[in-house]
Amino acid sequence: MVKQRVLTGITTSGTPHLGNYVGAIKPAIVASGDPSIESFYFLADYHALVKCFEPERVHQSTLEIAATWLALGLDTSRAVFYRQSDIPEIPELTWLLSCATAKGLMNRAHAYKAAVADNEAADEDPDQGVTMGLFSYPVLMAADILMFNAHTVPVGRDQVQHLEMARDIAARFNHRYGEHFVLPEARVDEHVATLPGQDGRKMSKSYDNTIALWLPEKQLRKAIMKIKTNSQEPGEPKEPDESTIFSVYAAFADQRQRQQMRQAFADGIGWGEVKQQTFELINAELAAPRERYEALIHNPEQIERELALGAERARALSRPLIERLRNAVGIRALR
């Protein structure tokens, strides 16, 4: 049986937070244990350059995100774990695909259109601050995916359009040069909880409401204590489904714990106590990986070794494919 290939990229422009963990990293690591799938997870460092112009930050984020996946137990003997920029066939494929991509298709990309709309609203030149990197971002992403003929790409809702573009680009290329690419499909996981941040909105860097994943214990507790609640007193029954702290608790709890916490809300548990229990639950889950994380961060050579092995496995696939594609487009030896 052909295994389902699942692939996803993580842009290396920030520090991992609890929302990334609950919404993406944890489910991906669990999924990679499924024997019927072959998973490809990579650090999208070329993508980071589109929006982050601080070299130290890109570098530090790459280290932190790589250490995070390894500390959380990604089994790299199963999943192929690599850094995008270690695969020179990806930028090469990006060019081949660019030449099969309609500019009109890229004009419709949400991120690009939003930048233009902001400029127009501010009475600026519509292309103010728009780089070719931002404009052709979806082609690079298509190359990431098509390079490994992934069937399924788990992404957030905001990335679904990019997957449609990847399919469109793949289909055009196939039509012109023969059936080289699988048409990939986005998978937006509906039941993975989106974790709220301290202010109750979705935890996101753009809202500045995140809790970093690897805070030391004391700071983690403090950050959880800052999650917004209403002014109900201990003893008053509380409504879990309107409570941010309940959602955070629930994202880490099993069925039985959730049920018990619901009961505690009905019985009037105080907010301080809910927060303390939430802290203890999260901390229990993260304490052991946190130690591994600290060790890895201080031993980047070990991370480099993992990434080098991942790149070798990835390139065992990308080299022959790019060879076939070069041949297909007419770039070959003159003999």
Q: Which residues bind ligand TRP (CB under 6 A)?
A: 7-9, 11, 44, 47, 141, 144-145, 153, 155, 159
Q: Which is nearer to ligand TRP, 141 or 269 (CB)?
A: 141
Closest to ligand TRP by CB, 49 or 71: 49
Q: How far is the CB of 51 from ligand TRP (least distance, A)?
A: 9
Q: Which residue is nearest to ligand TRP (CB)?
A: 9
Biggest CA–CA distance in the chain, Å, is: 85
**Residue 290 Cβ vs ligand TRP, minimum distance, rounded to whole Å:** 25
**Which residues 6+ apart lie within 8 Å of 109 measured at CB?**
135, 137, 138, 161, 162, 165
Cβ pair 193, 247 in contact under 8 A: yes
Contact 22, 191 (CB under 8 A): no
Q: Shortest gap between Cβ of 186 and ligand TRP (angstroms)?
A: 9
Question: Could you tell me where the beta strands, DSSP code E, fall in the chain?
Answer: 4-11, 37-44, 80-83, 152-154, 185-187
- Output the smallest distance, CB 7 to ligand TRP, in A: 6
Using N-to-C axis directions, what is the helix angle for 271-297 and 55-71, rounded to 10°? Answer: 100
- Select 65 or 251, whichever has its Cβ closest to ligand TRP: 65
Query: Least CB distance from residue 279 to ligand TRP, whole Å?
Result: 29
Task: Considering the complex, state which of residue 64 and residue 144 has its C-beta at the smaller distance from ligand TRP.
Answer: 144
The residue among 137 and 265 lying less far from ligand TRP, judged by its C-beta, is 137
Quickly count: other Cβ atoms within 10 Å of residue 186's Cβ: 19
Tokens 């991370």 label which residue? Answer: 303
